[in-house]
Amino acid sequence: MSKERIIIDCDPGVDDAVAILLAFASPDELDVMGITTVAGNVALEFTTRNALKICELAGRKHIPVYAGCQHAMFPAPRRAASVHGSDGLGDIGLADATISKKSQHAVDFIIETVIRYPDEITLCAIGPMTNIGLALLKEPAIAQKIKKVVFMGGAAFCPGNTTPAAEFNIWVDPHAAQIMLDSGVQLVMVGLDVTNKAVITTDRLNALRIGGTELGAKVAAMMTSYGNGDPCLHDPCVIAYLLDPSLFEGVAARVDVECESLFNRGRTVAFVHEHDRGERNTNCQVISGVDDERLFALLNTRLLNLC
């Protein structure tokens, strides 16, 4: 089986870090072409710094990191402090990287890579979708060349986690998310409907701690800090979906985002039934179920064997 070429668009973030490490731990299935960063969980300066730290921690200094957008198309109101800690990685004291980001902007890297490898690039969007939305605006032709986008975002059938209406990644930049949803690209939505079922338990953390690896201990430390504020493992579900879609179940739907309303900013509305969609076609596979035991078994096995 050929490897899937992926770009990880992210805002690390503890669960972003775990998602990136899971991708690095799966070289037989995934070819990480690059990591692009966006402001989200913390400011762009920190998300980029954290992406570099993760690459160095995993011994993947050759993976290029590209900084992207510093804020949303129409910035969100101020919000409370991040559950990811002041540094975005759980404040466990992870050392700064000795490697540097690339000079090219993330949006241009996405465009150039998709054009270079038509129908081969899967975008793994695990932060706000600003970079992807702007790439689609700057070069609309890439919509026909992207293989698919698997994104962590939204809450189709459950409440949000940032407001009662909205999940964080969509809330930060609803306009970019709607551009992506309108693009015609094949989309898989891995939102709170499924990630809320991937709960970080003490037993699951202990499995990493007692695995006997330095990386496993550091990941467990990050996840412990993060789990005090959010007990669910969101972003790694995107990578796990690529590795083993049989872990998940979902439904085809028409998904749209509320962009204008102050109180409903970022609400994702999913129309599943034909009579609700009207003449609009489905635009997204909405993932809503997961075999969480198998998910965490996959995660722990891969991370404990990452070298």
The DSSP secondary structure of 162-178, one letter per residue, reads SSSS--HHHHH-HHHHH
The reported pLDDT for the residue numbered 78 is 66
pLDDT of residue 90: 78
Task: Tokens for 163, please give them.
Answer: 């407001």
Active-site residues: which are they? 234
Given a contact cutoff of 8 angstroms between Cβ atoms, the answer to whether 285 and 296 are in contact is no
- At 178, give phi and psi (nearest 5°): -70, -35
The tens-digit pLDDT sequence of the chain (307 residues) is 689 999 999 999 899 999 999 999 999 999 999 999 999 988 999 999 999 999 999 999 999 999 999 999 998 776 555 677 778 787 887 888 999 999 999 999 999 999 999 999 999 999 999 999 999 999 999 999 999 999 999 999 999 999 999 999 999 999 999 999 999 999 999 999 999 999 999 999 899 888 889 899 999 888 887 767 778 999 999 999 999 999 999 999 999 999 989 889 999 999 998 777 877 899 999 999 999 999 999 999 999 999 6
Sequence-separated (6 or more) residues with CB below 8 Å from residue 163: 171, 263, 265, 266
Which two structure tokens, joined as six digits, stand for 253? 């739907």
Report the sign of the C-alpha dihedral through residues 47, 53, 54, 59, in that order.
positive
With b meaning 16 or more CB within 10 Å and e meaning fewer, what string describes 103-135? eebbbebbbebbeeeeebbbbbbbbbbbbbbbb
Cis status of the peptide bond prior to 13, with omega within 30 of 0: yes
At the fourth CATH level, which superfamily is domain 4-304? Ribonucleoside hydrolase-like (3.90.245.10)
Contact, 139 vs 113, CB < 8 A?
no
pLDDT for 80 equals 52
CA 193 to chain centre: 15
| In the chain, domain spans | 4-304
